A and B are shown apart, each in its own frame.
Chain A
Amino acid sequence: MALTPADVARLGELARVRLTEEELVHLAPQLDVILASVARVAEVAGADVPPTSHALPLTNVFREDVVTESLAADAVLAGAPSVEDGRFRVPRILGEEV
């Protein structure tokens, strides 16, 4: 199941990380080694072992439905690369709205 540079490029697109040709060639064998080494997790745990998603067994942590203060509008937009009319301005979107 060797990862090819093309596989890595596809994963890069899925993760929205543009990788150069050089990076792809460099990364593919590296990732292959890493994945081969971590694949051993599948050897040890049987079907009877429940997975752990959270380190501590907490449940039902909620907050009351109470309105608290929002950020000031200028603080919201202060770090934005581009702003127009109190809104974040972003490049054109080709894909359909999801």
Chain B
Amino acid sequence: MSSAVVDFDDALAAFDPVLGLEVHVELNTASKMFCGCSTAFGAEPNTHTCPVCLGLPGSLPVVNAKAIESAIRIGLALNCKIADWCRFARKNYFYPDMTKDFQISQYDEPIAFDGWVDIDVDGETFRIEIERAHMEEDAGKLLHLGGTTGRIGDAEYSLLDYNRAGTPLIEIVTKTISGTGSKAPQVAKAYVSFLRDLMVSLDVSDARMEQASLRCDANVSIMPKGTTTLGLRTETKNVNSLRSVERALHHEICRQAAVLSSGGLVQQETRHWHEDGGYTTSGRLKSDAEDYRYFPEPDLVPVAPSREWVEELRATLPELPNLRKLRLQGDWGFTDLELQDVVNAGALDVIEATVAAGASPQAARKWWLTELARRANEAGVELAELAITPAQVAEVQGLVDAGTVNDKLARQVIEGVLAGEGTPAEVVARRNLAVVSDSGELAAAVDRAIAANPDVVIRIRDGHLQAAGALIGAVMKEMRGQADAAAVRELVLAKLA
């Protein structure tokens, strides 16, 4: 099954990897690309279908305007040129998940082309050139039954649900990416991650890899160091998570290096990524027989976006995620590592809002990445879905800064807010959490601790000041934590001075 591989470092010592990434993004339009059927996920099979998306004889497609808008906005965000005039084309091939046995796609006239994006990996910037972003339709879903594995290879028959057929897709294709060396897998992962964030910020797609609304096909070839001839490439499919993008490329580079090093030849083929085992298997050979017989789609007239329309759409672009990250990193003074943690935790938005509500960036980062991240994790929800607002987190930090609560009490405040007990101030009042600042009560507690621990007192008086910890601990215990430890220490030392 899994083929021989060489060590990644050995592979990179001998070969340079060259990548090409094709990312399919399902748009979040309400209706399908060419008909009015709903794109909603999870309906009963074949209930979101009509003559058009079933490809019934006589039916005709009509383009969804919102899909065109989204395509243009994606193109603009990827620094692409937008075609003055372009056509849809038919890509002809027989497969039961395509109701017409051709896919309406774009061929030599994509709506967006010649773009680029800059991707950062460990402080190094890589420019990824975009060849094209074009529009097409998704296929139906196959279920393979019978046999033992439920996989296509030994199934006895298959069942088809065409609810997804005709969902609008944007396919984003890079030019060849070279010069990334050993970072190739990380660059690919960072690029796909960038696209995911971009789609969300443009509000054109849910971009969820686990639901296949963002899918990546990874082309890779390797060339012996010092040469410039591209090797034959493989196209790895079924790469369904960011982690898989990195792992699959890592594996495929090692596998190809093993093939070449042992005197073999890499086959030009598709390969299937197995997430569980972490390997790829051979799929379909890409031969001359693969002839899609593209021609302009006669049922659809050309798309010719006016320059005014394109500029109107450009004005709707939000701040792009990578630029926003750079801006926030500068504003907040975070290190690369700190920012990466924030991004990985998906905490950028909540921290920005918490800072806006008055907390310091470091304090906001601390709360969201520790206590709140833990609670979100326990509850299995996103940070933003927790029952506490960024403004309330800022308020908690304000209570700490004012000395009203210490860090330990602040966590109890948060617990109270999450439990629905009210605002942070209300929780403090209701749970009687405020630090005791009444010096008479504190002084009495200190006196009792001194009296109860004569041996400790002797040691402190002998100059072992660290022994004060035992007295402070005793006082804090008596006060049930509701005292300022620093103030207690001061009082203890003063009394024994």
- State yes or no: do A and B touch (Cβ within 8 Å): yes
In the complex, the answer to whether B157 meets A90 with C-beta atoms within 8 Å is yes
**Cβ-closest chain B residue relative to A52:** B296
| A93 to B67 CA separation, bound complex (whole angstroms) | 32
* Contact residue among A61, A70, A73, A92 (Cβ-Cβ distance under 8 Å from B301): A61
Q: How far is the CB of A79 from chain B (nearest CB, A)?
A: 9
Across the interface, A86 reaches (CB within 8 A) one of B46, B62, B66, B283, namely B46
Inter-chain contacts of B85 with A (CB < 8 A): 59
Chain B residues, Cβ within 8 Å of A41: none
Whether A54 lies near B65 (C-beta < 8 A) is no
Task: Give chain B nearest CB distance to A7 CB in angstroms.
Answer: 13
Contact of A60 among B45, B50, B144, B304 (CB under 8 A): B304
Query: Is B284 on the interface with A (CB-CB < 8 A)?
Result: yes
The answer to the question of A46 belonging to the interface, with a C-beta cut-off of 8 Å to chain B, is no
In this complex, what residue of B is CB-closest to A61? B301
| Shortest Cβ gap from A35 to chain B (Å) | 16
The distance in angstroms between the C-alpha atoms of A59 and B300, with both chains bound, is 9
- Bound complex: CA of A1 vs CA of B160, how far in Å? 42
B200 within 8 A of A: no
User: Are the C-beta atoms of B54 and A76 separated by less than 8 Å?
Assistant: yes
Which residue, A67, A69, A84, has most C-beta atoms of chain B within 10 A?
A67
Give, as a whole number of angstroms, the nearest-CB distance from A61 to chain B: 5
- Which residues of the partner chain A approach B44 to less than 8 Å between Cβ atoms? 73, 86
Task: Give chain B's interface secondary structure class.
Answer: loop
Are B63's CB and A67's CB within 8 A? no
Q: Establish whether residues B301 and A54, one from each chain, have CB atoms under 8 Å apart when the complex forms.
A: yes
Report A-chain residues with C-beta under 8 Å of the C-beta of B96.
88, 90, 93
Instruction: Find chain A residues with CB under 8 A from B237 CB.
Output: 97
A48-86 with Cβ < 8 A to chain B = 53-54, 58-71, 73, 76-77, 84-86
B158 at the interface (CB under 8 A from A): yes
| Range of interface residues on B (Cβ < 8 Å) | 35 or more
Q: Is A14 touching B160 in the complex (CB atoms < 8 A)?
A: no
Check if B30 sits within 8 Å of A96, measured CB to CB: no
Contact for B67 among A65, A67, A84, A95, CB less than 8 A: A65
Chain B residue at smallest Cβ distance from A65: B66
- Residue in chain A with minimal CB distance to B65: A62
Interface size for A (C-beta < 8 A) is 35
Cβ of B385 under 8 Å from chain A: no
CA A89 to CA B106, docked complex, whole Å: 30
Inter-chain CA distance A69–B97, complex, in Å, is 22
Is A60 within 8 A of B160, CB to CB?
Answer: no
- CB 8 Å contact bits of B46-72 with A (1 = contact, 0 = none): 111111001000000011111110000
B160 near A98: Cβ-Cβ < 8 Å: no
Q: Are the C-beta atoms of B159 and A62 separated by less than 8 Å?
A: no
* B157 and A92 within 8 A (CB): yes
Set A64, A89, A95, A97: member contacting B157, Cβ < 8 A: A89
**B346 interface residue, CB < 8 Å from A?**
no
Cα distance A95–B157 in the bound complex, in angstroms: 13
For residue B46, which residues in chain A have a CB less than 8 angstroms away from its CB? 73, 76-77, 86-88
- Confirm or deny: A16 has a beta carbon within 8 angstroms of a beta carbon on chain B: yes
Other-chain contact of B38, A70, A88, A98 (Cβ < 8 Å): A70
- CB pair B298–A92 under 8 Å, yes or no, is no
Q: Which of A54, A77, A92 contacts B155 (CB 8 A)?
A: A92
From known contacts A62-B62, A65-B29, A87-B143, infer whether A71 and B159 are also in contact, taking CB-CB under 8 Å: no
CB distance from A43 to the nearest CB of B (A): 21
B156 near A: Cβ within 8 Å? yes
State whether B47 touches A92 (Cβ < 8 A): no
Q: Are A93 and B298 in contact (CB under 8 A)?
A: no
B159 touching A85, Cβ below 8 Å: yes
- Enumerate 27 A-B pairs (CB-CB under 8 Å) in ascending A order: A16-B94, A54-B296, A54-B301, A59-B301, A59-B303, A59-B304, A60-B302, A62-B64, A62-B68, A63-B63, A66-B30, A66-B31, A68-B36, A69-B36, A71-B50, A71-B51, A73-B44, A76-B46, A76-B47, A86-B46, A90-B160, A92-B146, A92-B158, A96-B270, A96-B283, A97-B97, A97-B237
Q: Which residues of A contact B (CB under 8 A)?
A: 14, 16, 53-54, 58-71, 73, 76-77, 84-93, 95-98
Q: Point out residues on B near A: beta carbons under 8 Å.
A: 29-31, 35-38, 44-51, 54, 62-68, 85, 87, 93-97, 142-144, 146, 152, 155-162, 237, 270, 272, 283-284, 289, 291, 295-296, 298, 300-305
Give 9 closest A-B pairs by Cβ, nearest first: A68-B36, A65-B66, A62-B65, A87-B159, A53-B296, A88-B160, A59-B304, A58-B301, A86-B45
